[in-house]
Structure 1
Amino acid sequence: MASFPLRAASILDAAPTGLTLRPATDDDMAFLRQLYAASRHDEMAAVPWPDAAREAFLASQFALQHAHYLSHYACAAFLIVMEGTRPIGRLYVDERERDLHVIDISLTLADQGHGWGSALMRVLMRQASARGKGVTLQVSRFNPCAHALYRRLGFIEAPGGDAAYLPMRWVS
């Protein structure tokens, strides 16, 4: 599996109170695989496969996603979200000419619903504003909770997208 690029600095120079951000390393792969699998739990629950087949499928899908992110976003910041010494999520951000693009933001199921995602996005939005940029992302059309979160934060639908993903953009 491809390795994370080595970067000393992150795109964010601050984190919400109670959290820290650090660059992802290859040592994080087991956590990231589990995080990915958990993010697809509801979807996979409807698939009548044995557990071993589900796990193999999710491992292969994670490997493909990881390779895609590294090849298409070679200059991105791949960050692990930490609460104390415990990893609770990932935040992958690509700095573009006009925007900071959120490639992925995921939190463990146990850490969702506590305001961490909103807090991370607000920090990212402040960083973008300080750089004279907006923030873009793509949200699954099948995730109404995420739609509501981004709308509360001031994101609007952007042109484009496909049957699975809705592009959204925030501008200060």
Structure 2
Amino acid sequence: MLHFMPAVADDELFLYELYAETRRNEFHALGWDAAQLNTFLRMQFDAQRRSYRAKYADLKKSIIYQNGERIGQISQAVSEDAIVLVDIIISHLYRNQGVGTKLLLQLQETARQQGLGVRLHVLETNPAQRLYDRLGFLVTGEHSPYVSMEWNESSYIDSPVN
């Protein structure tokens, strides 16, 4: 069973390590030693956090738990017509086990109950885009290197998983 708890100061190291886990391979080819890479990733992590806070005044960051263990994080905000999925990271140990699908279905159900859509941006090369497609998200724009996607009630009704 998945459940969520608001991220607190004690989660800081976990959040950084989760972020670094997803980005480390991307920069490995630069040939930096571990200290250089960690310094760079920390700067990127801090910059991302500042950017998200500046853009989303009501940003809600939660830790995802499964069976009492932290397995990821989800950040979201709410606009007048949509829940904005700002960021989601699942630890590599829990990927491809249906966790992302469960999370997105829960988010879609929450949005449906509130009469909202769900919006997100995803890197063009991110394999999660296939999951979003499968769950009824439609491409609404492309701003390389990102793709904008949106789900709403009509895509929920037409979704192949329902």
- TM-score (structure 2 length as normaliser): 0.90
Q: Residue 170 of structure 1 corresponds to which residue in structure 2?
A: 151
Deviation of residue 47 (structure 1)?
Answer: 1.7
Q: Residue 153 in 1 paired to residue 135 in 2?
A: yes
Deviation of residue 85 (structure 1)?
Answer: 2.5
Q: Residue 157 of structure 2 corresponds to which residue in structure 1?
A: none
2:114 corresponds to which of 131, 139, 142:
131
Which stretches in structure 2 are left out of the alignment for 5+ residues? 154-162
Which stretches in structure 1 are left out of the alignment for 5+ residues? 1-17
Q: Residue 55 in 1 paired to residue 32 in 2?
A: no
Fraction of identical pairs, as percent: 33
SS of equivalent residue, structure 1 residue 40: helix
Alpha carbon RMSD of aligned pairs, Å? 1.0
Q: Residue 99 of structure 1 corresponds to which residue in structure 2?
A: 82
Provide the C-alpha distance between the structure 2 equivalents of 1:153 and 1:41, rounded to a whole number of angstroms. 28
Provide the C-alpha distance between the structure 2 equivalents of 1:70 and 1:86, rounded to a whole number of angstroms. 26
Deviation of residue 24 (structure 1)?
Answer: 0.6
1:112 corresponds to which of 68, 87, 95:
95
Q: Residue 142 of structure 1 corresponds to which residue in structure 2?
A: 125
Deviations 1:23-50 (A, max 9, x none): 0111111000000001113212222111
SS of equivalent residue, structure 2 residue 136: coil
1:5-44 alignment runs, 5 A limit: 18-44=1-27
Q: Residue 71 of structure 1 corresponds to which residue in structure 2?
A: 54
Deviation of residue 22 (structure 1)?
Answer: 0.7
The residue type equivalent to 2:133 in the other structure is R
- TM-score (structure 1 length as normaliser): 0.85
* Runs of 4+ off more than 6 Å: none
SS of equivalent residue, structure 2 residue 57: coil
Identify the structure with the greater strand proportion. 2
| Equivalent residue pairs, number | 153
Larger RCO: 1 or 2 (CA < 8 Å, sep 6+): 1
Provide the C-alpha distance between the structure 2 equivalents of 1:47 and 1:110, rounded to a whole number of angstroms. 25
Provide the C-alpha distance between the structure 2 equivalents of 1:26 and 1:84, rounded to a whole number of angstroms. 22
Deviation of residue 101 (structure 1)?
Answer: 0.5
